[in-house]
A = this chain, B = another copy of it.
Amino acid sequence: MGLPRIVVVGAGFGGLQIVRELAEAPVSITLVDRCNYHLFQPLLYQVATSGLAPEDIAHPVRAILKHQQNVSFRMAEVSSIDLTSRNVETTTGKIEYDYLVLAFGGVTNYFGLYSAADYAFGLKNIDDAIAIRNHILNMFELAAQQKDEKLRKSMLTFVIVGGGPTGVECAGAMSELVNIVLMKEYPELDFSEVQILLLEGSDRLLPSMPANLSEATAQMLSKKQVKIKLNAIVADYDGDEVVLKSGEKIPSCSLIWAAGVRAASIADKIGLVQGSMGRIVVTPTLQVESYPEVLAVGDAAYLEVDGRALPMIAPVAVQQAKAAAKNIVRLINGQKLLQFEYKDPGALATIGRNAAVAAFGKYHFSGIIAWFLWLVVHIIRLIGFRNRIMVVINWAWDYFFFERAVRLIMAGKEVYLKYFSWKSNTTSSRRSDT
């Protein structure tokens, strides 16, 4: 008999961690992902705001795993999973498994608001981030040539939905891109016409963090000319105008959707019980109840701890991956499985230069120390020494020279040049994660 075959779907934080944890195990692993790289999603918003190049936060999966003997990588998209005959159907053929790990991660959640899905920008993958970068820079180039004041102002109004860490960090970075860098380069423009709005549906920013940090965050963002609207829920968007539930209308050519995440669409196709955000319900041992040889981790998995669902963040994925790897070995050896216990590692969010908030248990603080901590944590967590060097150089460069180096419009520019305004281009969708 051959070695137990393990198929891991997804090379994000969870999938990659599982594969690495099993490096010494007598198993044969196949890792499947539609991309050939692992993406460091927490810094994606910096690609969207011209701070980092996409290449700085992505690392080829084969490069990461080249010294691990018991794994083979397969770039393919999973189209369905046959849980009964135990095989994964992909765009490049079937893969049989003895044990399956679902680590396919999450995508942008528009909560059924189709107009936002069509015209807003998500921020979950590299294509999203590049699309946003191109779009922001295009808006400035076009506004610089636009004589119609109304149209120009809506080109210069950037609305970010979602006051969680992604929205907050994105708004802060947008503000610095505009006020530190672009302001020096567009003498044609009156920068009082530029507006950055951050919309949050609840009554405070960073609802998952302590309330005093919400206040500090709001203050730091306001200092950076970010307008914050709380209790603001988007009802509609046609590419030109954001309509809120209150009836308020905000003319804007740019809606960045950082308001929600859900499990990738494959979660809906495999016939397993789903919890909130489409996630696959797992037991405390991270197994699917009816198929104990199937485990799920990270954004793909739904697990409640003390009556609350675990959040869809990287630390959960990494911790679950470690536990899942141990449990797979135990399953193979016929041992009793371990219950997953989540240790909250604390939370960090950066607002910009010298500005961040941090919450570790009962310790809450904001300002330059939180910011420095944020820098260190993110550099350490990046995979690949070269990526670390590149990120450090880019950050140091931007910090000392008040710059954003990567403000390049690459690809997709034809659309803008031909139509000049979104109005003429209403049939195309801006989504990349469909």
- A residues at B contact (CB < 8 Å): 34-37, 53-56, 58, 60, 62-63, 66, 72, 74-77, 91-93, 126-127, 130, 137, 141-142, 144-145, 184-188, 386, 389-390, 393, 397, 403, 405-411, 413, 417-418, 420
Contacts and interface: CB of A to CB of B under 8 A. Distances in A.
A183 to B, nearest CB: 11
B62 A409 contact: no
B410 A126 contact: yes
B54 A413 contact: no
B410 A54 contact: yes
A306 B385 CA distance: 54
29 contacts: A34-B413, A34-B417, A35-B413, A53-B53, A53-B54, A55-B408, A58-B408, A58-B410, A60-B407, A66-B184, A72-B187, A74-B145, A75-B141, A75-B142, A76-B417, A77-B417, A92-B142, A92-B417, A126-B410, A127-B410, A127-B411, A130-B410, A130-B411, A386-B393, A386-B397, A389-B393, A390-B390, A393-B393, A411-B411
Determine how many copies of this chain the complex contains: 2
Contact of A91 (B66, B386, B417): B417
A407 B58 CA distance: 10
A62 to B, nearest CB: 4
A252 B126 CA distance: 30
A187 to B, nearest CB: 8
A407 B386 CA distance: 13
Contacts of A72: 187-188
Contacts of A403: 386
Nearest to A142: B92
Nearest to A401: B386
Contacts of A393: 386, 389-390, 393
A132 to B, nearest CB: 14
Contact of A145 (B56, B63, B76, B145): B76
Contacts of A417: 34, 75-77, 91-92
Given A53-B53, A54-B408, A386-B403, 14 more contacts: A35-B409, A36-B409, A54-B410, A55-B408, A58-B408, A66-B185, A72-B187, A91-B417, A91-B418, A92-B417, A93-B145, A126-B411, A130-B411, A393-B393
Nearest to A65: B185
A205 to B, nearest CB: 31
A1 B411 CA distance: 41
Contacts of A409: 35-37, 75
A24 B27 CA distance: 70
A393 to B, nearest CB: 7
Nearest to A405: B386
B185 A406 contact: no
